[in-house]
Amino acid sequence: MSDDLRVSAGKGSHEQQLERLKDIIRSCDAILIGAGAGLSTAAGFVYTGDRFEKYFADFGQKYGFRDMYSGGFYPYETKEEFWAYWSRYIWINRYMDAPKKTYDHLFQLVKDKDYFVLTTNVDHCFQKAGFDKKRLFYTQGDYGLFQCTKPCCKKTWDNEGSIRRMILAQGFEIGERHELVLPEGKKAAMTIPSELLPVCPNCGRPLTMNLRSDDIFVEDDGWQAAAVEYEIWVTSHQEKKVVWLEIGVGYNTPGIIKYNFWQQVYQNEKAAYVCLNFEEQPVPEEIRDRSVVISGDSDQVIWELIS
Protein backbone atom coordinates (compact mmCIF):
# COMPACT_ATOMS: atom_id res chain seq x y z
CA MET A 1 0.00 0.00 0.00
CA SER A 2 2.93 2.34 -0.44
CA ASP A 3 1.52 4.06 -3.55
CA ASP A 4 -2.19 4.04 -2.83
CA LEU A 5 -4.79 2.73 -0.41
CA ARG A 6 -6.02 -0.22 -2.44
CA VAL A 7 -8.43 -2.54 -0.59
CA SER A 8 -11.51 -4.62 -1.37
CA ALA A 9 -15.04 -3.61 -0.45
CA GLY A 10 -17.05 -6.19 1.42
CA LYS A 11 -14.59 -9.05 1.01
CA GLY A 12 -13.55 -11.11 4.00
CA SER A 13 -14.75 -11.42 7.57
CA HIS A 14 -15.51 -8.55 9.92
CA GLU A 15 -12.10 -8.99 11.52
CA GLN A 16 -10.36 -8.93 8.14
CA GLN A 17 -12.16 -5.76 7.16
CA LEU A 18 -11.15 -4.14 10.46
CA GLU A 19 -7.51 -5.04 9.88
CA ARG A 20 -7.65 -3.59 6.36
CA LEU A 21 -9.13 -0.41 7.76
CA LYS A 22 -6.50 -0.14 10.49
CA ASP A 23 -3.86 -0.62 7.82
CA ILE A 24 -5.11 2.16 5.55
CA ILE A 25 -5.52 4.56 8.49
CA ARG A 26 -1.94 3.87 9.59
CA SER A 27 -0.56 4.41 6.07
CA CYS A 28 -2.69 7.35 4.90
CA ASP A 29 -1.59 10.98 4.70
CA ALA A 30 -4.90 12.41 5.91
CA ILE A 31 -8.51 11.62 6.85
CA LEU A 32 -11.70 13.43 5.86
CA ILE A 33 -14.56 12.38 8.16
CA GLY A 34 -18.06 12.70 6.74
CA ALA A 35 -20.60 12.23 9.55
CA GLY A 36 -24.35 11.81 9.31
CA ALA A 37 -27.13 11.25 11.82
CA GLY A 38 -26.22 7.58 12.19
CA LEU A 39 -23.05 8.51 14.06
CA SER A 40 -24.98 10.37 16.75
CA THR A 41 -27.50 7.54 16.88
CA ALA A 42 -24.60 5.16 17.55
CA ALA A 43 -23.51 7.53 20.34
CA GLY A 44 -26.92 7.14 21.99
CA PHE A 45 -28.72 10.23 20.71
CA VAL A 46 -31.89 8.36 19.74
CA TYR A 47 -35.21 10.15 19.31
CA THR A 48 -37.53 7.34 20.36
CA GLY A 49 -37.96 4.83 23.16
CA ASP A 50 -36.64 5.50 26.66
CA ARG A 51 -35.17 8.92 25.87
CA PHE A 52 -38.45 10.14 24.43
CA GLU A 53 -40.47 8.76 27.33
CA LYS A 54 -38.11 10.24 29.90
CA TYR A 55 -38.24 13.80 28.60
CA PHE A 56 -41.39 14.07 26.47
CA ALA A 57 -43.96 11.63 27.90
CA ASP A 58 -46.26 14.55 28.78
CA PHE A 59 -46.21 15.93 25.24
CA GLY A 60 -46.64 12.44 23.79
CA GLN A 61 -49.66 11.73 25.98
CA LYS A 62 -51.27 15.06 25.14
CA TYR A 63 -50.71 15.03 21.38
CA GLY A 64 -50.24 11.37 20.46
CA PHE A 65 -46.79 11.41 18.90
CA ARG A 66 -44.14 8.89 19.97
CA ASP A 67 -40.84 10.38 18.84
CA MET A 68 -39.01 13.70 19.23
CA TYR A 69 -38.83 14.33 15.50
CA SER A 70 -42.61 14.27 15.08
CA GLY A 71 -43.01 16.50 18.12
CA GLY A 72 -40.72 19.06 16.53
CA PHE A 73 -43.19 19.52 13.67
CA TYR A 74 -46.36 19.63 15.78
CA PRO A 75 -48.39 22.87 15.28
CA TYR A 76 -48.51 24.04 18.90
CA GLU A 77 -51.12 26.69 19.60
CA THR A 78 -48.78 29.03 21.46
CA LYS A 79 -45.15 30.02 21.21
CA GLU A 80 -44.86 29.39 24.95
CA GLU A 81 -45.67 25.72 24.42
CA PHE A 82 -43.60 25.50 21.25
CA TRP A 83 -40.50 26.70 23.13
CA ALA A 84 -41.20 24.49 26.13
CA TYR A 85 -40.96 21.53 23.78
CA TRP A 86 -38.02 22.82 21.75
CA SER A 87 -35.98 23.95 24.76
CA ARG A 88 -36.07 20.39 26.09
CA TYR A 89 -35.28 19.06 22.61
CA ILE A 90 -32.30 21.38 22.15
CA TRP A 91 -30.96 20.83 25.65
CA ILE A 92 -30.89 17.02 25.60
CA ASN A 93 -29.59 16.81 22.01
CA ARG A 94 -27.04 19.64 22.17
CA TYR A 95 -26.00 20.49 25.72
CA MET A 96 -26.41 17.13 27.45
CA ASP A 97 -23.47 14.77 27.05
CA ALA A 98 -23.94 11.87 24.65
CA PRO A 99 -24.77 8.59 26.43
CA LYS A 100 -21.80 6.81 24.81
CA LYS A 101 -18.17 7.81 24.18
CA THR A 102 -18.38 7.27 20.42
CA TYR A 103 -17.15 10.74 19.46
CA ASP A 104 -14.35 10.62 22.03
CA HIS A 105 -13.16 7.31 20.59
CA LEU A 106 -13.35 8.68 17.05
CA PHE A 107 -11.17 11.59 18.13
CA GLN A 108 -8.65 9.15 19.59
CA LEU A 109 -8.57 7.43 16.22
CA VAL A 110 -7.72 10.55 14.18
CA LYS A 111 -6.22 13.12 16.57
CA ASP A 112 -2.64 12.48 15.44
CA LYS A 113 -3.55 12.56 11.75
CA ASP A 114 -4.13 15.45 9.36
CA TYR A 115 -7.95 15.43 9.57
CA PHE A 116 -11.01 17.46 8.68
CA VAL A 117 -14.70 16.91 9.47
CA LEU A 118 -17.68 17.52 7.20
CA THR A 119 -20.99 16.85 8.94
CA THR A 120 -24.71 17.32 8.54
CA ASN A 121 -25.18 16.80 12.30
CA VAL A 122 -26.23 19.80 14.39
CA ASP A 123 -25.55 18.49 17.90
CA HIS A 124 -22.01 19.86 18.52
CA CYS A 125 -20.65 16.45 19.52
CA PHE A 126 -17.39 16.85 17.64
CA GLN A 127 -16.28 19.95 19.53
CA LYS A 128 -17.32 18.48 22.88
CA ALA A 129 -15.11 15.46 22.11
CA GLY A 130 -12.06 17.64 21.49
CA PHE A 131 -12.04 18.06 17.70
CA ASP A 132 -10.43 21.31 16.55
CA LYS A 133 -13.13 23.87 15.73
CA LYS A 134 -11.08 25.08 12.77
CA ARG A 135 -11.28 21.60 11.24
CA LEU A 136 -15.08 21.32 11.39
CA PHE A 137 -17.72 22.27 8.84
CA TYR A 138 -21.29 21.97 10.14
CA THR A 139 -23.18 22.37 6.86
CA GLN A 140 -26.73 22.24 8.25
CA GLY A 141 -26.51 24.50 11.29
CA ASP A 142 -26.28 24.07 15.05
CA TYR A 143 -28.92 23.45 17.73
CA GLY A 144 -26.89 25.84 19.87
CA LEU A 145 -27.55 28.88 17.68
CA PHE A 146 -30.53 31.18 17.17
CA GLN A 147 -31.21 33.23 14.06
CA CYS A 148 -33.85 35.79 13.14
CA THR A 149 -37.05 34.40 11.59
CA LYS A 150 -37.03 37.00 8.80
CA PRO A 151 -33.93 36.93 8.77
CA CYS A 152 -32.96 40.58 9.06
CA CYS A 153 -29.21 39.95 9.06
CA LYS A 154 -26.60 37.25 8.49
CA LYS A 155 -25.97 36.76 12.20
CA THR A 156 -26.56 34.00 14.74
CA TRP A 157 -26.59 34.05 18.53
CA ASP A 158 -25.55 31.46 21.11
CA ASN A 159 -28.63 30.14 22.88
CA GLU A 160 -27.35 28.19 25.91
CA GLY A 161 -28.36 30.81 28.46
CA SER A 162 -31.79 31.30 26.94
CA ILE A 163 -32.48 27.57 26.65
CA ARG A 164 -31.29 27.00 30.22
CA ARG A 165 -33.75 29.60 31.53
CA MET A 166 -36.60 27.94 29.62
CA ILE A 167 -35.65 24.56 31.07
CA LEU A 168 -35.50 25.83 34.65
CA ALA A 169 -38.84 27.62 34.19
CA GLN A 170 -40.46 24.25 33.43
CA GLY A 171 -39.31 22.89 36.80
CA PHE A 172 -36.31 20.88 35.68
CA GLU A 173 -32.97 20.86 37.43
CA ILE A 174 -29.70 20.30 35.58
CA GLY A 175 -27.67 17.42 36.96
CA GLU A 176 -24.42 15.65 36.18
CA ARG A 177 -23.44 15.46 32.52
CA HIS A 178 -26.00 18.27 32.00
CA GLU A 179 -28.89 15.83 32.37
CA LEU A 180 -32.40 17.15 32.97
CA VAL A 181 -33.83 16.06 36.33
CA LEU A 182 -37.31 16.57 37.73
CA PRO A 183 -37.48 16.75 41.55
CA GLU A 184 -39.40 13.80 43.00
CA GLY A 185 -43.14 14.28 42.86
CA LYS A 186 -42.93 17.32 40.60
CA LYS A 187 -44.60 17.58 37.20
CA ALA A 188 -42.91 19.58 34.44
CA ALA A 189 -44.68 22.61 33.04
CA MET A 190 -45.48 22.40 29.32
CA THR A 191 -45.17 26.12 28.68
CA ILE A 192 -42.64 28.83 29.45
CA PRO A 193 -43.24 32.41 30.65
CA SER A 194 -43.84 34.81 27.76
CA GLU A 195 -40.91 36.96 28.81
CA LEU A 196 -38.55 34.08 27.95
CA LEU A 197 -39.59 33.93 24.30
CA PRO A 198 -36.43 34.63 22.26
CA VAL A 199 -36.41 37.78 20.14
CA CYS A 200 -33.89 39.12 17.63
CA PRO A 201 -31.46 41.61 19.22
CA ASN A 202 -31.29 43.39 15.88
CA CYS A 203 -34.94 43.88 14.85
CA GLY A 204 -37.11 42.49 17.66
CA ARG A 205 -38.73 39.74 15.60
CA PRO A 206 -38.98 36.20 17.02
CA LEU A 207 -35.86 34.06 16.87
CA THR A 208 -35.75 30.49 15.60
CA MET A 209 -33.19 27.67 15.41
CA ASN A 210 -30.27 27.99 13.00
CA LEU A 211 -31.15 24.80 11.12
CA ARG A 212 -31.25 24.31 7.36
CA SER A 213 -34.90 23.48 6.76
CA ASP A 214 -35.89 26.20 4.25
CA ASP A 215 -34.52 29.19 2.34
CA ILE A 216 -34.15 31.42 5.42
CA PHE A 217 -31.22 29.45 6.85
CA VAL A 218 -28.50 31.91 7.88
CA GLU A 219 -24.97 31.11 6.73
CA ASP A 220 -23.19 33.42 9.19
CA ASP A 221 -19.53 34.43 9.28
CA GLY A 222 -18.60 31.24 11.13
CA TRP A 223 -20.36 29.08 8.55
CA GLN A 224 -18.70 30.93 5.68
CA ALA A 225 -15.25 30.63 7.27
CA ALA A 226 -15.71 26.88 7.80
CA ALA A 227 -16.82 26.42 4.18
CA VAL A 228 -13.63 28.15 3.00
CA GLU A 229 -11.44 26.02 5.30
CA TYR A 230 -13.09 22.86 3.98
CA GLU A 231 -12.47 23.85 0.35
CA ILE A 232 -8.86 24.74 1.11
CA TRP A 233 -8.31 21.39 2.82
CA VAL A 234 -9.85 19.39 -0.02
CA THR A 235 -7.94 21.30 -2.69
CA SER A 236 -4.61 20.91 -0.91
CA HIS A 237 -5.09 17.12 -0.53
CA GLN A 238 -6.19 16.20 -4.04
CA GLU A 239 -3.07 14.16 -4.78
CA LYS A 240 -2.45 12.71 -1.32
CA LYS A 241 -3.38 9.38 0.24
CA VAL A 242 -6.64 10.48 1.82
CA VAL A 243 -9.12 8.24 3.61
CA TRP A 244 -12.63 9.53 2.97
CA LEU A 245 -14.29 8.10 6.08
CA GLU A 246 -18.09 8.19 5.88
CA ILE A 247 -19.99 7.32 9.08
CA GLY A 248 -23.74 7.01 9.54
CA VAL A 249 -24.75 8.76 6.33
CA GLY A 250 -28.11 7.99 4.74
CA TYR A 251 -29.95 9.22 1.67
CA ASN A 252 -31.68 12.31 3.06
CA THR A 253 -29.00 14.66 1.67
CA PRO A 254 -26.55 12.25 -0.02
CA GLY A 255 -24.99 14.93 -2.20
CA ILE A 256 -23.27 16.61 0.74
CA ILE A 257 -21.22 13.62 1.89
CA LYS A 258 -21.86 10.26 0.22
CA TYR A 259 -21.89 11.21 -3.47
CA ASN A 260 -19.24 13.83 -2.82
CA PHE A 261 -16.94 11.22 -1.24
CA TRP A 262 -17.46 8.77 -4.10
CA GLN A 263 -16.47 11.45 -6.60
CA GLN A 264 -13.41 12.54 -4.62
CA VAL A 265 -12.09 8.98 -4.37
CA TYR A 266 -12.79 8.34 -8.06
CA GLN A 267 -10.72 11.40 -8.99
CA ASN A 268 -7.74 10.49 -6.77
CA GLU A 269 -6.28 7.04 -7.36
CA LYS A 270 -4.30 7.25 -4.12
CA ALA A 271 -7.44 7.74 -2.01
CA ALA A 272 -9.67 5.21 -0.24
CA TYR A 273 -13.37 5.26 0.59
CA VAL A 274 -14.53 3.87 3.94
CA CYS A 275 -18.18 3.50 4.93
CA LEU A 276 -19.38 2.62 8.43
CA ASN A 277 -23.14 2.24 8.59
CA PHE A 278 -25.66 0.23 10.57
CA GLU A 279 -27.07 -1.12 7.30
CA GLU A 280 -25.07 -2.53 4.40
CA GLN A 281 -24.32 0.16 1.83
CA PRO A 282 -23.58 -0.01 -1.91
CA VAL A 283 -20.31 1.20 -3.46
CA PRO A 284 -19.81 2.23 -7.09
CA GLU A 285 -17.92 -0.36 -9.10
CA GLU A 286 -15.35 2.27 -10.15
CA ILE A 287 -14.00 2.58 -6.58
CA ARG A 288 -14.72 -0.86 -5.12
CA ASP A 289 -11.07 -1.88 -5.11
CA ARG A 290 -10.30 1.18 -2.94
CA SER A 291 -13.19 0.82 -0.51
CA VAL A 292 -13.94 -0.75 2.85
CA VAL A 293 -17.55 -1.10 3.92
CA ILE A 294 -18.41 -2.31 7.42
CA SER A 295 -22.04 -2.65 8.49
CA GLY A 296 -23.24 -2.81 12.08
CA ASP A 297 -22.93 -0.68 15.18
CA SER A 298 -20.51 2.17 14.38
CA ASP A 299 -19.86 2.73 18.08
CA GLN A 300 -18.52 -0.81 18.38
CA VAL A 301 -16.51 -0.58 15.16
CA ILE A 302 -14.81 2.65 16.23
CA TRP A 303 -14.00 1.11 19.60
CA GLU A 304 -12.46 -1.91 17.86
CA LEU A 305 -10.36 0.36 15.68
CA ILE A 306 -8.67 1.99 18.69
CA SER A 307 -8.43 -1.18 20.80
Q: b vs e for 84-123, b when ≥16 Cβ sit within 10 Å of the residue's Cβ?
A: bbbbbbbbbbbbbbbebbbbbbbbbbbeeebbbbbbbbbb
User: What's the whole-number average pLDDT of the chain?
Assistant: 95
Does the 14-42+99-139+220-306 domain belong in CATH 3.30.70.20? no
> What mean pLDDT comes out for the span 257-286?
96
pLDDT number for residue 188: 97
What are the beta bridge partners of residue 261?
Answer: none
Per-residue pLDDT at 36: 97
Whole-angstrom Cα distance, residue 284 to residue 96? Answer: 38
Q: Give tens-digit pLDDT for 194-215.
A: 999 999 999 999 999 999 988 9
pTM: 0.93
Q: How far is CA 207 from the centre of its chain?
A: 22
Say if residue 63's pLDDT is above 50. yes
Taking CA 197 as the corner, what is the angle to CA 72 and CA 167, rounded to the nearest 5 degrees?
65
Q: Tens digit of pLDDT for each residue in 2-56?
A: 355 555 555 678 888 899 999 999 999 999 999 999 999 999 999 999 999 999 9
Q: Where are the domains of the chain?
A: 14-42+99-139+220-306, 49-97+160-197
Phi, psi of 245 (to 5 degrees): -95, 100
Q: What is the pLDDT of residues 92-149, one digit of tens each?
A: 999 999 999 999 999 999 999 999 999 999 999 999 999 999 999 999 999 999 999 9
Going edge to edge, which strands form the sheet with 207-211? 157-158, 141-148, 207-211
For residue 89, what pLDDT band results from cuts at 50, 70 and 90?
Answer: very high
